[in-house]
Every structure is written in C-alpha cells, then in structure tokens.
C-alpha cells in the first residue's frame, strides 16, 4: 500500500477525497449524523488547524482510507469529557480513521493509523469510538488504547468511548 501525507497546507486539495471516502464508508448508513454535509463541517474544522496531519492509503489505483487529526491545545481534551487526571504531556487527537468497505479487515487501517502516529510528536494519542461498536473498540484495545471514559459531544451524537494510548518513546 502506498501512503500519502498531507498537512494543513494541503487541506483544500484533499478535502474532496476525504469526503468521498467518508461517503463510501457510510453508504449504507442512513443516520443523518453521518451525512456528507455534517461531516464536511468536521473536515473543515479539523483541517483548519495549523498542526493538522493526514495520511491516506492507496492500492490498486484507488484510495483505501485515511486517518487524520491534530494536536490538542495544552490541557485540552474532547468536548463532553474531562481530561483524565493522570494525563500528562502533549496530546494528539485522532479525529478520523476511515477505510472503504472493500479494504476492511485487511490490516490496512492499522498501517494508515501507525503511519500517521509515527510522525506525531506527542505523549498521548486519543480518539473517540461509538460505544455501540464493540468490535471497533476491541480493535483499538488490541492497538494498546485504553478506555478512559465516555462522552457525548453534541445532542445528536452517539455516546462515544474516549480512548487513549501512551506514545512516549523510550
């Protein structure tokens, strides 16, 4: 799989790609929370951050998926959840990790995830996963994330498991 990296400077050029992959990943999900219009707000919000980073995977001439996120402000954490008391240091928030259906279950998500995090200079990585998706949460646990709580960032959002992973390199 070929990997491509993007930064805030590339956000405008990669926006349509991110939205198209999102549409394919959620094609069979009628929930308005996963609509393109709503998701585009979050793509624009996250990619507007100067420290935004994204990695996309490519195989057989097409996109496999992507992961993106950015550093949280010092002391920052997810809306709807308090930063865990023992959480020290810089935090990278992994906002999205999406893989198109054809490539799910092939290990490509982990490769994209790891490629993104290997270039991140943070002490901790954190992400949200829909609490109803037990298999996805278990996947992140196999990747050494631990559940540190739950959050509901907006009235119409699902209840999310807040997960964190120590990135300190010894």
Please tell me the number of Cα atoms within 13 Å of 160 on its side-chain side.
19
Kindly list the domain boundaries of the chain, sorted by start residue.
2-166
pLDDT of 38-61, one tens digit each?
999 999 999 999 999 999 999 999
> Average pLDDT in the 4-26 region?
97
| Mean of all residue pLDDT scores within the chain | 94
Residue 45 φ/ψ, nearest 5 degrees: -60, -55
Q: Which fold has domain 2-166?
A: Aminopeptidase (3.40.630)
Q: What local confidence, expressed as pLDDT, does residue 87 receive?
A: 85
Q: Write the secondary structure of the chain as one string of H (helix), E (strand) and C (coil).
A: CEEEEEEHHHHHHHHHHHHHHHHHHCCCCCCHHHCHHHHHHHHHHHHCCCCCEEEEEEECCEEEEEEEEEECCCCCCCCCCCCCCCCCCCEEEEEEEEECHHHCCCCHHHHHHHHHHHCCCCCEEEEEEECCCHHHHHHHHHCCCEEEEEECCCCCCCCEEEEEEECCCC
> Average pLDDT in the 93-106 region?
95
> Average pLDDT in the 133-144 region?
96
Other C-beta atoms within 10 Å of 148: how many?
Answer: 20
Would you say residue 170 has pLDDT above 80? no
Instruction: Please state, for a pLDDT cut of 70, what percent of the chain lies above it.
Output: 99
- Reported pTM: 0.94
Give the integer Cα–Cα distance in Å for 13 and 43: 12
């Amino acid at each position: 799989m070929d990997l491509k990296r993007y930064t805030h400077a590339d956000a405008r050029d990669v926006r349509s790609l991110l939205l198209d992959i999102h549409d394919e990943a959620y094609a069979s999900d009628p929930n308005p929370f996963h609509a393109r219009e709503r998701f585009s707000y979050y793509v624009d919000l996250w990619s507007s951050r100067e420290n935004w980073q994204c990695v996309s995977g490519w195989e057989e001439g097409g996109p496999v998926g992507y992961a993106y996120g950015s550093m949280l402000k010092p002391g920052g954490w997810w809306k709807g959840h308090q930063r865990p008391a023992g959480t020290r240091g810089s935090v990278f928030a992994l906002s999205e990790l999406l893989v198109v259906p054809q490539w799910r279950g092939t290990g490509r998500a982990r490769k994209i995830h790891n490629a993104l995090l290997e270039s991140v200079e943070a002490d901790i990585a954190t992400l949200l996963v829909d609490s109803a998706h037990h298999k996805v949460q278990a996947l992140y646990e196999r990747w050494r994330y631990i559940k540190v709580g739950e959050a509901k960032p907006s009235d119409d959002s699902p209840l999310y498991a807040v997960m964190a992973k120590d990135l300190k390199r010894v």
